[in-house]
Amino acid sequence: MPDEPPAGDRPRDNPWPDDVVGLLEGIVTTRAIRRFRPEPIGENALATMLFAASRAPSGSNRQPFRFLVLRDGPRARAARSLIGRAAREQWANKVVSDGYERGSGVDVDTPKARIAATMARFVETFEDVPVVVLPCLVRYREPNPSDGASVYPACQNLLLAARALGYGGVLTGWHRVVEPELRRLLEIPDGVFIAATIALGRPEGRHGPVRRRPLREMVFEDGWDEPAAWALDPPGTRYTAAGPPTADGWPSNG
């Protein structure tokens, strides 16, 4: 009889029995979710998502990320209402600057109008989002352009883990215009960068393949703009050229 393998090498029961999505499928189907069912996120599920987030890589494995979870406590409610106000203000500005009240933005059957309707509801009901997470980065040096690389992978891990467990969410920048008040309220020290506001919950709609540009526009080989003939999208891939006219990033296609 061979010796028993050490405990760490033995097959274990799956500790995440609810994880039913394959890794690649999860990656290519994790959409931005902005419409949530009025259901809380169970603490075990939330802990699993944050565990996945905390496993993200960071420079020198310093793990400078921290996650401030906002649920139902009095300070959390106050913070969520501050961010909700900021979201409404920013969306109102965006409606004007990106022409959501003109052209295809007013025709109810266009993607632009659907995004506008989803966004309007998202910001109007932001205070009801089941869980809001502020992923933060504890700085250990002067701000550096690569700092985000040590916190945003954790954000994506969080969203992927949410997807794996039947939840969903979206990374936003809604907190930015109320950052001073938010810092005071939540006692976030100087030297801590609030990297995002992530909304999480049980999706009202469904996840599904995200649409992006074709791989041939994104992958070069041997030199800038040199095609990589082997870099092909899987059959049936659907594309979008969507993107905002300005450079600040959202929303592209809902």
Ligand X SMILES: Cc1cc2nc3c(=O)[nH]c(=O)nc-3n(C[C@H](O)[C@H](O)[C@H](O)COP(=O)(O)O)c2cc1C
What residues make contact with ligand X under the rule CB under 6 A?
31-32, 34, 170-174, 210, 249-253
Q: Least distance from C-beta 251 to ligand X, angstroms?
A: 4
Residue 188's SS3 state is coil
Q: Rank residues 55 and 121 by Cβ distance to ligand X and give the closer one.
A: 121
Q: Helix, strand or coil for residue 204?
A: coil
- State which residue, 23 or 47, has the beta carbon closest to ligand X: 23
* Residue 49 to residue 79: CA distance in whole angstroms: 21
Nearest distance in Å: CB 199, ligand X: 8
> Smaller CB distance to ligand X: residue 157 or 172?
172
Calculate the alpha carbon distances from 194 to 12, 40, 148 in Å.
Answer: 37, 24, 10
Least gap, CB of 14 to ligand X (angstroms): 27
Smallest distance, Å, CB 64 to ligand X?
A: 18
**Do 116 and 50 form a contact (C-beta atoms < 8 A)?**
no
Nearer to ligand X, 44 or 97 (CB): 97
Task: Give the nearer residue to ligand X in terms of CB position, either 16 or 95.
Answer: 95
Q: How far is the CB of 78 from ligand X (least distance, A)?
A: 20
Provide the token pair at 67.
């996650």
**Residues found in the chain:** 254
Rounded CA-CA distance 250/254 in Å is 9
Question: Which of 30, 96, 120 minimizes the C-alpha distance to 245?
Answer: 96
